[in-house]
């Protein structure tokens, strides 16, 4: 039997796959960094920042941040979901929105100003679990990520590797994609390999693990990640203690419980640990169930939120909002030098835009919070909040 040696690019590709397979089986050295991709067909992801130009309305031409639910706040047109669309598809959708109500003809162009960045978290039965830095304009496959994590451990259940990924549209659920990595390695058929996205979580089970076993899994910015024993009556406070507390870069307000559902997906239960540990809001001390994933994201993966301080504040203006227990209105005002002598501290306003585009205003008695130390009544801030400290006697107050 005669074998023909592959030529050119085919030989390079075959060699690459052989090396990758060796790394996956034996925990070889790290693979090369993700390659940059051709972004012409790339789909917009939550966390991207987009240059959007509207020829008919120049004041709408600026950089827009894609929110976690996949939408942008498109000026007077309201919120429009454009995640999972290509730039061309999103341009046509925005043109349609403008032409439906505002213009006879609209011309919109979109380019990526900043790609979303977010670690891919690899956990479980790999030799070097941890975070892989990743940008949304890079290419990283599941097989490459496992190789860069040292390869599969000897006791890995490689036939049940799972990718947990946010579902688009703000549904607060994660999709669970199960991949038989072991079969790909046994057959050298990589057609079922998966492209990863920023903020994906890859879970490689150990052999012998059963779904719903008597443990829960802690991931992200916790001191002791991994599997921890479940006991009756386990709640969030006890879970935080079991995992040794939170890491230096923990996003306190963005923690989640990922709870398995019968269909194979994970429901997401939001946890605001700032409210729990700073304001003693026990409504956040939720029960933890068998099989739950307690996930604390990193602030390094966030699109930095901004709030706007106006009125009788010593340091007014746009302020980057640092996640954590201090991201509240009274504490932020203190951080910005406090209020002027002309302020009405009992009628501080927070103006907030809801996901549906509607506006709402909240009144906060910051003066009483500061005088009495009643920080349990302090109000957590969100991205794009506008905080107004009125002057005494103005605004009809």
| CATH number, domain with residue 224 | 3.10.560.10
**Pair of tokens at residue 225:** 């990640």
Question: In percent, how much of the chain has pLDDT > 90?
Answer: 24
Question: In percent, how much of the chain has pLDDT > 70?
Answer: 80
Residue 198 has pLDDT above 80, yes or no: yes
Q: Which of 306, 326, 267 is nearest to 73 (CA)?
A: 306
Residue 53: give the domain boundaries.
49-114
Residue with tokens 């509607």: 358
Answer yes or no: do 260 and 138 share one domain. Answer: yes
Count: domains in the chain = 3
**Residue 396 domain-assigned (yes or no):** no
Q: Which of 277, 257, 280 is nearest to 268 (CA)?
A: 257
Lowest mean pLDDT among 71-85, 163-177, 323-337: 163-177
Would you say the C-alpha torsion 368, 373, 377, 381 has a positive or negative sign?
positive
Answer yes or no: do 84 and 215 share one domain. Answer: no
Q: Give the domain CATH number at 72.
A: 3.30.1950.10
Answer yes or no: do 348 and 374 share one domain. Answer: yes
**Residue 154 domain-assigned (yes or no):** yes
Answer yes or no: do 65 and 185 share one domain. Answer: no
Answer yes or no: do 165 and 285 share one domain. Answer: yes
Answer yes or no: do 211 and 64 share one domain. Answer: no
Answer yes or no: do 101 and 226 share one domain. Answer: no
Q: Which of 253, 291, 206 is nearest to 381 (CA)?
A: 253
Instruction: Give the end of a domain, one of 282, 301, 320.
Output: 301
Residue 105 confidence class, pLDDT cut points 50, 70, 90 = very high
Answer yes or no: do 276 and 312 share one domain. Answer: no
Determine contact, residues 256/166, Cβ cutoff 8 Å: no
Instruction: Give the end of a domain, one of 250, 275, 301.
Output: 301
Higher pLDDT, 392 or 118: 392
| Helix, strand, or coil (residue 389) | strand
Strand partners, 269: 257
Segment 297-304 shows an average pLDDT of: 66
Segment 226-245 shows an average pLDDT of: 90
**3-state percent helix, strand, coil for the chain, nearest multiple of 5:** 25, 30, 40
**Residue 4 domain-assigned (yes or no):** no
Segment 77-86 shows an average pLDDT of: 87
Lowest mean pLDDT among 150-154, 197-201, 333-337, 368-372: 197-201
Segment 369-394 shows an average pLDDT of: 85
Q: What is the pTM of this model?
A: 0.52
| Helix, strand, or coil (residue 250) | strand
119-to-206, 212, 308, 309, 313 alpha-carbon distances in Å: 23, 27, 29, 31, 37
Max avg pLDDT among 9-23, 194-208, 252-266: 194-208
Answer yes or no: do 86 and 220 share one domain. Answer: no
Lowest mean pLDDT among 25-34, 166-175, 213-222: 25-34
Residue 303 has pLDDT above 70, yes or no: no
Answer yes or no: do 228 and 362 share one domain. Answer: no
Segment 262-266 shows an average pLDDT of: 68
Residue 20 confidence class, pLDDT cut points 50, 70, 90 = very low
Segment 12-28 shows an average pLDDT of: 42
Residue 161 has pLDDT above 60, yes or no: yes
Q: What's the pLDDT tens digit per position in 82-91?
A: 888 999 999 9
Q: What is the C-alpha to C-alpha distance for residues 70 and 249, in angstroms, rounded to an integer?
A: 24
**Strand 161-166 to strand 173-179: parallel, antiparallel, or no bridges (unpaired)?**
antiparallel
**Residue 274 domain-assigned (yes or no):** yes
Residue 29 confidence class, pLDDT cut points 50, 70, 90 = very low
Tell me the pLDDT of the chain averaged across its residues. Answer: 80
Residue 221, pLDDT score: 86
Lowest mean pLDDT among 15-24, 262-271, 367-376, 378-387: 15-24
């Amino acid at each position: 039997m005669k074998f023909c040696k592959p030529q050119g690019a085919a030989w390079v590709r075959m060699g690459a796959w052989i090396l990758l397979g060796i790394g996956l089986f034996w925990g070889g050295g790290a693979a090369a960094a993700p390659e940059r991709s051709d972004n012409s067909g790339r789909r917009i992801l939550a966390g991207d920042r987009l240059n959007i130009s509207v020829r008919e309305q120049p004041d709408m031409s600026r950089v827009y941040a894609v929110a976690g639910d996949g939408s942008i706040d498109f000026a007077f047109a309201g919120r429009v979901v454009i995640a999972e669309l290509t730039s061309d598809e999103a341009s046509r959708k925005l043109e349609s929105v403008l032409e439906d109500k505002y213009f006879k003809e609209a011309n919109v162009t979109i380019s990526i100003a900043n790609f979303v960045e977010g670690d891919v978290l690899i956990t479980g039965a790999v030799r070097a679990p941890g975070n892989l830095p990743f940008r949304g304009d890079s290419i990283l496959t599941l097989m490459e990520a496992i190789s860069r994590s040292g390869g599969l451990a000897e006791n890995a259940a490689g036939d049940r590797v799972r990718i947990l990924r946010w579902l688009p549209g703000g549904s607060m659920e994660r999709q669970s994609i199960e991949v038989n990595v072991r079969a790909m390695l046994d057959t050298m058929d990589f057609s079922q390999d998966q492209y990863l996205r920023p903020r994906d979580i890859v879970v490689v089970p150990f052999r012998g693990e059963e779904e719903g076993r008597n443990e829960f899994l802690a991931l992200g910015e916790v001191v002791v990640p991994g599997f921890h024993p479940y006991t009756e009556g386990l709640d969030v406070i006890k879970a935080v203690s079991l995992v040794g507390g939170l890491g230096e870069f923990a996003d306190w307000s963005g923690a989640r419980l990922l709870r398995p559902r019968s269909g194979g997906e994970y429901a997401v239960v939001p946890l605001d640990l700032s409210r729990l540990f700073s304001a003693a809001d026990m409504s956040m001390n939720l029960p933890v169930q068998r099989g739950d994933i307690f996930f604390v994201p990193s602030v390094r993966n966030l699109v930095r939120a901004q709030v706007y301080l106006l009125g009788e504040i010593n340091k007014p203006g746009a302020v980057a909002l640092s996640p954590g227990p201090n991201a509240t209105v009274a504490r932020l005002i203190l951080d910005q030098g406090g209020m002027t002598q002309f302020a009405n501290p009992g009628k501080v306003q927070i103006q907030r835009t809801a996901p549906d585009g509607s506006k709402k205003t909240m009144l906060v008695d910051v003066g009483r919070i500061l005088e009495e130390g009643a920080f349990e009544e302090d109000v957590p801030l969100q991205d794009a909040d506008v905080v107004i400290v009125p002057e005494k006697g103005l605004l009809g107050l």
